[in-house]
Amino acid sequence: MSFVAAQILNGIATGMLYALMGLGLSLITGILNIPNFAHGALFAVGAYLLATVAVAIGNFWIALLVAPLGVALLGLAIEYVGIRRLYAAGHDYQLLFTFGLALIISESIILIWGPIGSSYLPPEVLRGGADLGFTMYPKYRLFVMLAAGLLVFATWLFLEKTRYGAIMRAGIENKEMVSLLGIDIKMLFTVAFALGAYLAGIAGALIAPIRGLNPSMGVDMLGIAFVVVALGGLGNLLGAIAAGLIIGVAQALVAAYWTEASTVVIYAVMAVVLLVRPQGLFGIR
Amino acid sequence: MSKLSRRDVLKFGAGAAAGLGFPSIVRAQSKEIVILGLWDQTGAFADVGPINDRGMKMALEERGMQILGRPIKYITRDGATQAGTSTRRTEEAVDGDGAKFVIGPWSSGVALAVSEVAKRKKVVHLFSGGTEDISGARCHRYSFQWAASPYTAAKTVVDSFMKANPKAKRWHLLVADYAFGWSVEKYVKEVGKTHGIEFVGADRHPLGEREFSNYVQKAAANKPDAVAMINFGGDAVAGAREIYNFGLTPKVPLIMTWSSGVEELVQLSPEIRQNIWVGSNFYYTADTPGAKEFVKNYTAKFGNPPGYAPSAAYSMTRLLLAGFDKAKSAEVQDVIRALEGIEVNDIVGRMRMDAATHQNIRPYFFMRCKSKDAMKHATDFADIIATGDTPLPKEYGACKDIGGF
C-alpha cells in the first residue's frame, strides 16, 4: 500500500510540472490561436539559464528567479518581433514560424552550451531524501511539487481574480469582442505569450536539477505539453492542471505494474478521453 | 532549317545511351572504393552520429583515404535512428552511389534491419552493438559484429563486480526494452546464477525514457544490494541521475553494464558518479599501443578523450581496411573471406573475428568511477579494474550455420 501511495505522490510531483508546461501552452494556444511548437525549446532555455546563472553567481535561488524572467523576455521578443507580423498572414505561417523557431533555439543551445548534456545538482539544503513515513522521497522533488503547485495556483488566481486576467480569459473566448471594447489586443497577445514563456521557463528551471541539461530536453517535453492541452481542453486552464496531474499519476501507476507501457499510457489516456469527449475534459470547443 | 545531319543524330543518340542507358558500366570503370558510414544525425542517437563519424574519418585519413592503391570515397547518411529510414538510405547508397561496404548504424534494433539489406544487396556490413542476433540467430555471411558478445560483457561485469562486492547478492535490474537490452539481460541473469545472485526486480523501460523516478522508486522499494542498468546513452544518464536523486547511490552501488564510457560519464557530476561501476567496449585508458596512439590523436584534435562511439567506428573501419589488405582485393566476397578468422591487435587489444559466427572475440572493460578528490583532471572519471574476453559458450550460440554468399 505504501508503495502505491509513494507512486501516486511521485505522479503528482511529475504531474505538477506537466501542468505548468500545459498551462503556459494552453494560454498561448488559447489566446493567440497558435500551436506554439517553440514551447519545448523555451522550456530547455529555462533549464540552461538556471544552471548557467546559478553556477556564475553561486546562488540557486536567485537563478530560479532570474532564469524564467529571461525566458519571458525572450518570449516577449519573439511575439513582438516575429509572431505579431504574422497574425494577418494566416495559420500556416504562424505554425511554420514557431516550428522554425524551435529548431533555431535548439541549435542555438548546442552552439552556446555544446551538444553533450550535463548534470546540475539541487542546492545543498534540498539534496538527499526526506522520510515521509511511508516512503523516502527526494527533498528536491517535494520542493518542486510545492513550488509548481504554488505557481499553478498563482496563475489561476491571476486569471480568475484580477481584471487583466478577466480580459485574458475574454480574449480566449472572443478576441474581436475584446478588441471592440477598446482593449489593446496586441498588448494582450504580447503579455499572454510572455506569460506562457515564463511558465515554460520556470518548469525548465525547476526540472534542471532532476533531469539535467540536454539540448533535446525540450522535444521530450513538448509532446507531453500538447497532450496536456488536448486532454484538458483547448484554452482551458483548469483543464490543463487536471490533465497534467492525470497524466503524471497514470504514468507513475502504470510504471509500477507494467513498466514497458509507461510512455504509451500518456497517449492512450488522451486517445480514450478524446474518444469520449472530443473537446477534452473541460473544453468547450 | 536544322543543320543536323543523320550522322549527328546518331552521335547524340549513342552519347545519350552511354550516359543514361549504361550507368553501371560507366561506374564500374571508376577505381574508387565507396564506403558508407551510416551514422544517425537525428532521432534518439542524434548525439552519437557526429562522433561516430569522427572516428571513422580518422581511421580513413590514417591511410590517406586510399587502400590497395585506390582512392576511398567516404559517404555518410543519416539513419535517423529508425529502421525504415536507415534501410532506405542504405539501399540508396548501394544502388545510387555504388557503396559495397557499410559501417553502422548505432542502434541494435535498427542495425538488424540494415543487416537484412546487406544480405539482400550482397554488401559487407560491420556493426557494433549489444544485440546478439547479428552474430546469433540472424547471422549471415555479410554482417560482422565488432562489439564484445553480450555474454562476454555480462561475464566480465558480473564476475568482476562480485569479486569486489561478494556480499551484494540482491540485484535490481533496469533494462532498455529493445534487442540490446534483452540480450545483455539474459546473460547477466545466467552469469548471476553462478554467483547465487537473486534478482529482486527487473523492469524494462522504453528507449528514450526520461522520467525514471517511477522505476527508481520501485527499485528502492525492493531494497537491493546493487542496481544494474542495461541501457545506453541518454537513458543511462537519466537513470543514473535519478538513482542518485532518490538517495540510492552512493549507498547502493550502481552498475552501468553496457556504457559508452566517456560520453555518458561526462554528463554526470562527480557526486553522482560515486560508487558507479561501469562496463564498456572501450575506455580511453586501455593499456594497448593502439589505444594510446588513437587517444592522443583524438584528444589533440577534439579536446576530449574518445568514448565507445568514436572508438568503435575507428576500430571497425581499421578492421575493414585490414580485411582489404589481407584479401589484396576490394571484391565483396574476397574481403568477407579475409575478415573471417582475421586476427589483429587494435585499440582494445587482441581481436579475432570468429569465422563461424562473425562475432569479434575481444576484451571487454570494467571500470570503477573515481571520487572527486581522486580525479587528476576533468576527464579522469574511472580506473579500469578488470578486462574479460570469455567467448559465448557453444551451447548458447544461436548461429548454427553462417551460410553461403
Inspect the interface and report whether the beta carbons of A260 and B204 lie closer than 8 Å: yes
Q: What is the structure's pLDDT at A188?
A: 86
Residue in A with minimal Cα distance to B238: A211
Residue of A nearest to B213 (CA): A10
Residue A140 with chain B: CB contacts under 8 Å: 245
Looking at the structure, do residues B100 and B203 belong to the same domain, yes or no? no
User: pLDDT by residue (tens digit) across A156-215?
Assistant: 899 888 988 888 888 777 777 887 888 888 888 899 899 999 999 999 999 999 989 988
The answer to whether the bond into B363 is cis (omega within 30° of 0) is no
What pLDDT was estimated at residue B322?
A: 97
Domain presence at residue B297: yes
> Tens digit of pLDDT for each residue in B170-222?
999 999 998 889 989 999 999 999 999 999 999 999 888 888 888 898 898 89
H helix or E strand, kind and range, residue B153: helix B150-164
Q: Which regions of B248-328 does DSSP assign to beta strands (E)? A: 254-259, 276-280
B381 and B274 fall within a common domain: yes
Q: What local confidence, expressed as pLDDT, does residue A116 receive? A: 82
Do B109 and B192 lie in one domain? The reply is: no
CA pair distance B211, B145, nearest whole angstrom? 32
Residue B319, in any domain of the structure? yes
Same domain for B324 and B213 = no
pLDDT band at residue A29 under the 50/70/90 scheme: confident
Give the pLDDT confidence of B226-280 residue by residue, as tens digits: 999 999 988 999 999 999 998 899 999 999 999 999 999 999 999 999 999 999 9
Strands, E, within chain A: which ranges? 129-131, 136-138
Rounded CA-CA distance B157/B386 in Å is 9
Confidence tier at A285 by pLDDT (50, 70, 90): low
Provide the 10 A C-beta neighbour count for residue B11. 12
Query: Average pLDDT, stretch B15-34?
Result: 54
| Per-residue pLDDT at A172 | 75
Whether the ipTM is more than 0.95: the answer is no
Identity of the amino acid at A98: T
H-assigned helices in A78-138: 91-113
Q: Which three cell numbers stand for residue A164?
A: 487583466
Range of the domain at B325: 31-148+282-362
| Side-chain-side CA neighbours of residue A137 (13 Å) | 22
- Mark whether B170 and B264 lie in a shared domain: yes
A212 touches chain B (CB under 8 A): yes
Instruction: Return the half-sphere exposure (C-beta side, CA atoms, 13 A cut-off) of residue B337.
Output: 10
On whether any CB of chain A is under 8 Å from the CB of B210, the answer is: yes
CATH number, domain containing residue B176: 3.40.50.2300
Question: B259 vs chain A: nearest CA distance in angstroms?
Answer: 15
Asked if B234 has any chain A CB less than 8 Å from its own CB, the reply is: yes
Give residue B20's pLDDT: 44
Residues contacting B4, CB < 8 A, separation 6+: none
Residue B289 pLDDT > 80: yes
Instruction: Tell whether the model's pLDDT for residue B118 goes beyond 80.
Output: yes
Give the distance, in angstroms, between the CA of residue A53 and the centroid of all CA atoms in the same chain: 21
Our measurement of the distance from residue A183's CA atom to the centroid of its chain's CA atoms, rounded to an integer in Å, reads 27
Q: Distances from the Cα of B36 to the Cαs of B72, B76, B90, B157, B359, in angstroms? A: 10, 6, 8, 33, 21
The reply to whether B211 and B139 lie within a common domain is no
Which has more confidence, A189 or B53?
Answer: B53
> Which of A169 and B16 is assigned the larger pLDDT?
A169
From A231-235, B36-40, B53-57, B78-82, the region with the lowest mean pLDDT: A231-235
User: Residue range A63-74: average pLDDT?
Assistant: 97
Residues A231, A244: Cα–Cα separation, whole Å: 9
pLDDT score for A284: 61
B316 and B261 part of one domain: no
Does B4 reside within a domain? no
Residues B227 and B328 in one domain: no
Counting the structural domains of chain B, the total is 2
Kindly state the average pLDDT of the residues A66-92. 90
Give dist(CA A91, CA A85) in Å, integer.
12
With a pLDDT cut of 70, the percent of chain A lying above it is 99
Pairwise CB contact (< 8 Å): B245 & A138: yes
pLDDT more than 90, % of chain B: 79
Same domain, B40 and B187: no
Residue A65 grid cell: 528567479
In the chain, the amino acid numbered A248 is: G
Q: Please give the average per-residue pLDDT across A40-54, as a whole number.
A: 96
Torsions phi, psi for A69 (to 5 deg): -65, -35
Asked if B228 and B373 sit in the same domain, the reply is yes
Are B167 and B263 contained in the same domain?
Answer: yes
Q: Which domains does chain A have, with CATH numbers?
A: 2-276 (1.10.3470)
What share of chain B has pLDDT > 70, as a percent? Answer: 93
Could you tell me if B42 lies within 8 Å of chain A, comparing CB atoms?
no
Q: Across all residues in chain B, what is the average pLDDT? A: 91
How far A259 CA lies from chain B's nearest CA (Å)?
6
Residue B30 pLDDT:
56
Mean pLDDT (whole number) for B321-341: 97
Judge contact between B53 and B44, C-beta under 8 A.
no
Q: Can you tell me the distance from the alpha carbon of B365 to that of B368, in angstroms, rounded to the nearest whole number?
A: 10
pLDDT of residue B10: 44
B233 plus B368 within the same structural domain: yes
| A237 or A11, greater pLDDT | A11
Q: pLDDT band at residue A1, thresholds of 50, 70 and 90?
A: low
Q: Which residues of A touch B379 (CB under 8 A)?
A: none
